[in-house]
A = this chain, B = another copy of it.
């Protein structure tokens, strides 16, 4: 198959598109919920992660919908952001909306990890990777 010829999305890809689109939607709706609720739900870092997650899910879905080869890179970024967003939702404690958002993010992360083309199948230097992961903005 020539690189130029993107194929019809296969089953994993279709599931990933669906997961990204649903996660985008849930995150956007959760932003509104959190801003209304206020308090820790409306903290800048949490709202920002939800906005990040909604946006990268959209971008990731668009790469998949275009049949772009480089969806491996956007899926990788998407998985990483989904993971952090899920953790941030989990940290909010008992709250059915946050639980639903966390679950969606975890499903989307899992789906994106399958699509990242083995981009980071194993970490050669876990400590360095962890330091990179913990880098502040």
Contacts and interface: CB of A to CB of B under 8 A. Distances in A.
Contact of A28 (B35, B49, B62, B84): B62
Interface in A16-73: 17, 21, 25, 28-29, 31-32, 35-36, 38, 42-45, 47-49, 51-52, 55-56, 58-59, 62-63, 65-73
- Residue of A47, A51, A70, A128 with highest tally of chain B CB at under 10 A: A70
Interface string A126-137: 001001101111
Given A69-B137, A117-B132, 17 more contacts: A3-B45, A5-B36, A7-B136, A28-B62, A31-B51, A31-B66, A32-B48, A47-B47, A48-B68, A49-B70, A52-B63, A52-B70, A56-B74, A67-B137, A76-B77, A77-B77, A121-B128
